[in-house]
Amino acid sequence: MAFHCYEMLVLVFLIVNMSFYGSVDGEKNALGASFIFGDSLVDAGNNNYLSTLSKANIPPNGIDFKASGGNPTGRYTNGRTIGDIVGEELGQPNYAVPFLAPNATGKTILSGVNYASGGGGIMNATGRIFVNRIGMDVQIDYFSITRKQIDKLLGESKAKEYIMKKSIFSITVGANDFLNNYLLPVLSIGARISQSPDSFIDDMITHFKAQLTRLYEMDGRKFVIGNVGPIGCIPYQKTINQLNEDECVDLANKLALQYNARLKDLVAELNDNLPGATFVLANVYDLVSELIKNYKKYGFSTASRACCGNGGQFAGIIPCGPTSSMCSDRYKHVFWDPYHPSEAANLILAKQLLDGDNRYISPVNLRQLRDL
């Protein structure tokens, strides 16, 4: 989701994505595997292996990520992503390893694989400003490789059961299709003249339906799909549009809401038409909006200023890097950088997805989805 304009810094990538949380042998219903798709909200290090302008494997990213001793891993936050936290809570024995990491081989993949990529989107043109990124079509191509590897590890019959019953497919995507495609003046002015918002969102939904159906055809049965959050309220948008603290960019939020309404219909359609599958919709938009609106209630001191960043009133222009200013109270900021939530915010969001009611997660929450 970020717009990264700093030069690529080469750091040694720490292989920490397989850090063990503890034995789950006694947990009958422990999640087997988590297959994570999407963008920088859940990227755990795939972009480290790409020549791309969208990277997070530089300090102080990861400063609160215990598994790496506070070193950057490629996660676009100060600590764990929502995907990390959900996996831990559901009893998954290890973090899902980035698909492009050298250790994404053998039995390691049975705890899950993360295909998400900073800058990625539903549409293949999304994120081209970053030069390289992995869009959803290629992420699913990568899963087809993993799927064959699991057949070899477990045998076809056990592999099919493991994927269908012991695995959750988590997809967090769509924000970049607006922020770094449709709303990006430099690259999309021609498209925006020739394509209305309705038409662009039609294309997104058509592509996404085909992508989710492909995962179903490879035996995915338990899905959680995040809708697009209030992208008009992120520090970057507030800063470049010179808004007040409690203002958001209307157009960006209207596009998100328009897409989310269509996504809700798509999820209902897939639940009706794909036998044996459960598609759960995570209402990220309302969850994050609630956190931003009532941030003090949740123990935060600001929901508009980035903890790590530079530029403008809300430190919202230059992404987080070694030369950024950084707040001293990281756990009191909803936003870590100009685009992404802090670990403190991710913990609150994850809790609602795990155990919340149908205002935020429906038709079941993630703990119930695991136990189906």
The predicted-structure confidence for 326-347, as pLDDT tens digits, reads as follows 999 999 999 999 999 999 999 9
Model confidence at 182, pLDDT cuts 50, 70, 90, reads: confident
Between 226 and 51, whose confidence is greater? 226
Whether 99 is covered by a domain: the verdict is yes
241, with CB counted inside 10 A (0-12, 13-18, 19+), is middle
Residues ≥6 apart with Cβ < 8 Å to 179: 1, 3, 231, 252
CA–CA gap between residue 105 and residue 120 (Å, rounded): 23
Whether 81 is covered by a domain: the verdict is yes
Q: Is the peptide bond before 60 cis (omega within 30 degrees of 0)?
A: yes
pLDDT at 191 over 80: no
User: What is the per-residue pLDDT for 167?
Assistant: 97
Q: Looking at mean pLDDT, say which of 10-24, 94-108, 171-185 comes out highest.
A: 94-108
Range of the domain at 93: 34-283
pLDDT at 132 over 70: yes
Whether 342 is covered by a domain: the verdict is no
Whether 357 is covered by a domain: the verdict is no
CA–CA gap between residue 288 and residue 38 (Å, rounded): 18
Whether 124 is covered by a domain: the verdict is yes
Q: Write out the catalytic residue numbers.
A: 40, 337, 340
Q: Which helix (H) or strand (E) holds 308?
A: strand 308-309
Average pLDDT over residues 216-235: 98
pLDDT at 12 over 50: no
CA–CA gap between residue 135 and residue 204 (Å, rounded): 12
Between 128 and 16, whose confidence is greater? 128
Average pLDDT over residues 17-31: 48
CA–CA gap between residue 102 and residue 98 (Å, rounded): 9
Average pLDDT over residues 212-237: 97
| 3-class DSSP assignment, residue 224 | strand
Number of domains in the chain: 1
CA–CA gap between residue 156 and residue 151 (Å, rounded): 5
User: What is the per-residue pLDDT for 356?
Assistant: 96
Least confident range from 181-190, 194-203, 343-352: namely 181-190
pLDDT at 45 over 50: yes
Whether pTM exceeds 0.85: yes
Model confidence at 121, pLDDT cuts 50, 70, 90, reads: very high
User: What is the per-residue pLDDT for 354?
Assistant: 98
Model confidence at 192, pLDDT cuts 50, 70, 90, reads: low
Whether 15 is covered by a domain: the verdict is no
Cβ neighbour number for residue 233 with a 10 Å cutoff: 24
User: What distance, in Å, lies between the first and last C-alpha atoms of the chain?
Assistant: 32
What single-letter DSSP state applies at residue 181? I
Whether 322 is covered by a domain: the verdict is no
Which tokens sit at 241?
A: 């549009």
Q: pLDDT tens, 47-93?
A: 999 988 888 999 999 999 999 999 999 999 999 999 999 999 999 98
Model confidence at 24, pLDDT cuts 50, 70, 90, reads: very low
Task: Name the average pLDDT for the chain.
Answer: 90
Whether 85 is covered by a domain: the verdict is yes
Average pLDDT over residues 179-203: 76
CA–CA gap between residue 202 and residue 249 (Å, rounded): 22
Cβ neighbour number for residue 149 with a 10 Å cutoff: 17
pLDDT at 190 over 70: no
137, with CB counted inside 10 A (0-12, 13-18, 19+), is middle
What single-letter DSSP state applies at residue 274? S
